[in-house]
């Protein structure tokens, strides 16, 4: 073959490689939903297992479909037709534009096109369902299934993509700057995914109230999860999936950046685990595996906003602090009688905030200006999420109710909503 002929294949070859990495990342983000599922059922009681699995499985389906219907075009509207920088919509359904060329669809300087329209949609779609899953964990064991799905459809279909568009869709937040700072920085979604899920979880937990027996006569009771091995499987799979969550957020397979992102991600997770375990060893004189699990997730959520900005030591520090935060936050939310069976508030909300702020404290962008930008970004998205959650949940509460009946809660949602048991062969000593 001629040299020029061969050479003309290079951009296509580049696209193939980068797109391949993005497809691997899609799968990894997909498998996080299994991680969330087993984590959540592991940390809750056996009598609600089918219910939680149902929610987690269907949320992927619902998430993908709503994202196809409108989410994707709300999040990446191209131009903000409705409100400049705040709201745009590119129409219902998915499909590339008429002049679509994968070689230029998402071209990076010096690299060329890095993925196709389809990869873009699927990667973003897999992210979308995550936010609802966070809520699912926090309100587990007492939230009505129908109310949850109505909420999820609206939240994943509208709120998540609109807030996301402010930054990743090229909206106002992405160019918002103070002084020297070069705009809000949220690499893979500490704010846009984790706190967006976290704020909704906070509102939902507040509105639905604690589980029966959790706070009795001013005492905090532990309601143990029923299957620690499943929880452990969950956390390993989430870490595994985070390789794609963060690694894919590079949006190309650029070797130096992606590999460094994987290193910072892993170091933060490792440091988070150690720190949470050591802090809880000191406080509770016990090697608390449940806190180790939360520590890993804390480190992962914490590094997510700045995984591309940090050095190895930065990421270790972010992990250490995240691990300590999560231990404190679990106790803090318990003190406030916000009952969160799986620690979703502590992990996703508290450490999502920490991770966002950490970009202003550690790493390449650290500085007072950046810190303020991060803070304002958090405040703006937080306020929006809280208000939207209220706007969605209050009418549902009035019309359908958020909470299952007392007898249903005591006997388990599985038997009442699904007429099915998770473990029919096993003798269960339900609590």
Partner 1 sequence: MKKIEAIIRKSRFEEVRKALYKVEIHFFTYWDVTGQGNETEAHVYRGVSYTASDIQRRHISFVCNNEYAEPAIQAILAAARTGEVGDGKIFVSEVLESYRIRTGEQGSVSLKENR
Question: Considering the complex, what minimum distance in angstroms separates the CB of residue 249 from a copy of itself?
Answer: 14
Q: Look-up: residue for tokens 């590119």?
A: 90
Q: Which of residues 190-219 bind partner 1 (CB under 8 A)?
A: 213
Interface with partner 1, residue 220, by CB under 8 A? yes
Q: What's 307's DSSP letter? A: T
Interface with partner 1, residue 165, by CB under 8 A? no
Interface with partner 1, residue 291, by CB under 8 A? yes
Q: What's 69's DSSP letter? A: I
Q: Look-up: residue for tokens 């269907």?
A: 58
What are the backbone dihedrals phi and psi of residue 210, each rounded to the nearest 5 degrees, phi first?
Answer: -75, 160
Closest CA relative to residue 234, chosen from 312, 384, 73, 343: 343
Q: Which of residues 339-398 bind partner 1 (CB under 8 A)?
A: 343
Binding mask 84-123 for a copy of itself (x = CB under 8 A): ---------xxx------x---------x--xxxxx-xx-
Q: Which of residues 269-288 bind partner 1 (CB under 8 A)?
A: 280, 283-284, 286, 288
Q: Figure out which of the listed residues 106, 226, 365, 403 binds a copy of itself, where binding follows CB under 8 A.
A: 226
Segment holding 24, helix H or strand E: helix 10-42
Q: Which two tokens stand for residue 177?
A: 């700057």
Helices (H), 81-116: 102-105
Question: Considering the complex, what minimum distance in angstroms separates the CB of residue 54 from a copy of itself?
Answer: 5
Interface with a copy of itself, residue 271, by CB under 8 A? yes
Q: Figure out which of the listed residues 77, 161, 248, 292 binds a copy of itself, where binding follows CB under 8 A.
A: 292
Q: Figure out which of the listed residues 1, 99, 110, 222 binds partner 1, where binding follows CB under 8 A.
A: 222
Q: Which of residues 315-334 bind a copy of itself (CB under 8 A)?
A: 316
Q: Figure out which of the listed residues 68, 331, 376, 380 binds partner 1, where binding follows CB under 8 A.
A: 331
> Of the two residues 99 and 425, which places its CB atom closer to a copy of itself in the complex?
425
CA distance 155 to 133: 11
CA distance 95 to 28: 24
With CB under 8 A as the contact rule, which of the stretches 113-121, 125-133, 355-363, 408-416 interacts with partner 1? 408-416
> Between vectors from CA 261 to CA 259 and to CA 264, what angle results, nearest 5°?
115
Closest CA relative to residue 269, chosen from 297, 243, 236: 297
Q: Figure out which of the listed residues 49, 181, 190, 246 binds a copy of itself, where binding follows CB under 8 A.
A: 49
Contact 241, 32 (CB under 8 A): yes
With CB under 8 A as the contact rule, which of the stretches 149-157, 196-204, 353-361, 418-426 interacts with partner 1? 418-426
Select from a copy of itself, partner 1, none the partner in contact with residue 343, using the beta carbon and a kind-dependent cut-off of 5 to 8 Å.
partner 1
CA distance 183 to 23: 28
- Half-sphere exposure in the Cβ direction for 409 (13 Å, CA): 18
Q: Which two tokens stand for residue 274?
A: 């150690």
Select from partner 1, a copy of itself, none the partner in contact with residue 369, using the beta carbon and a kind-dependent cut-off of 5 to 8 Å.
none
Interface with a copy of itself, residue 213, by CB under 8 A? no
CA distance 123 to 64: 10
Q: List residues near partner 1 by CB under 8 A.
A: 213, 220-222, 224-225, 280, 283-284, 286, 288, 290-291, 294, 327, 330-331, 334, 343, 407, 410-411, 415, 418-420, 427-430
């Amino acid at each position: 073959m001629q040299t020029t002929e061969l050479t003309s294949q290079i951009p296509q070859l580049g696209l193939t490689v980068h797109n391949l990495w993005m497809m691997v990342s899609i799968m990894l983000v997909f498998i996080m939903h299994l991680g969330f599922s087993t984590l959540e059922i592991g940390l809750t009681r056996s009598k609600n297992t089918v219910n939680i699995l149902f929610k987690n499985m269907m949320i992927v389906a619902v998430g993908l479909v709503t994202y196809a219907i409108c989410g994707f075009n709300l999040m990446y509207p191209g131009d903000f037709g409705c409100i400049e920088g705040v709201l745009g919509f590119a129409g219902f359904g998915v499909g590339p534009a008429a002049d679509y060329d994968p070689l230029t669809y998402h071209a990076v300087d010096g690299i060329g096109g890095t993925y196709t329209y389809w990869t873009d949609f699927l990667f973003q779609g897999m992210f979308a369902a995550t936010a609802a899953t966070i809520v699912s964990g926090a309100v587990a064991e007492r939230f009505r299934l129908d109310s949850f799905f109505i909420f999820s459809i609206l939240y994943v279909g509208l709120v998540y993509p609109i807030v996301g568009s402010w930054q990743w869709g090229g909206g106002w937040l992405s160019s918002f700057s103070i002084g020297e700072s070069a705009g809000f920085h949220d690499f893979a979604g500490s704010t846009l995914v984790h706190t967006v899920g976290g704020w909704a979880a906070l509102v939902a937990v507040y509105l639905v109230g604690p589980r029966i027996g959790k706070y009795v006569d001013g005492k905090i009771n532990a309601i143990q999860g029923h299957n620690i091995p499943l929880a452990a499987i969950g956390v390993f799979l989430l870490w595994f999936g985070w390789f794609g969550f963060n690694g894919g957020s590079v949006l190309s397979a650029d070797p130096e950046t992606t590999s460094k992102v994987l290193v910072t991600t892993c170091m933060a997770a490792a440091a988070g685990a150690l720190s949470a375990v050591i802090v809880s060893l000191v406080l509770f004189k016990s090697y608390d595996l449940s806190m180790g699990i939360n520590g890993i997730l804390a480190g992962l959520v914490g590094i997510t906003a700045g995984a591309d900005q940090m050095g190895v030591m930065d990421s270790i520090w972010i992990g250490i602090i995240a691990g300590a935060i999560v231990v404190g936050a679990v106790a803090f939310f318990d003190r406030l009688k916000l009952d969160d069976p799986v620690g979703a508030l502590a992990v996703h909300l508290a450490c999502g905030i920490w991770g966002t702020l950490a970009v202003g404290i550690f790493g390449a962008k650290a500085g007072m200006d950046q810190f303020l930008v991060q803070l304002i970004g958090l405040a703006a998205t937080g306020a929006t999420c809280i208000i939207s959650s209220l706007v969605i949940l209050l009418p549902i509460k009035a019309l359908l109710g958020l909470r299952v009946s007392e007898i249903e809660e005591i006997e388990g949602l599985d038997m009442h909503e699904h007429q099915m048991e998770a473990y029919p062969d096993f003798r269960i000593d339900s609590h």
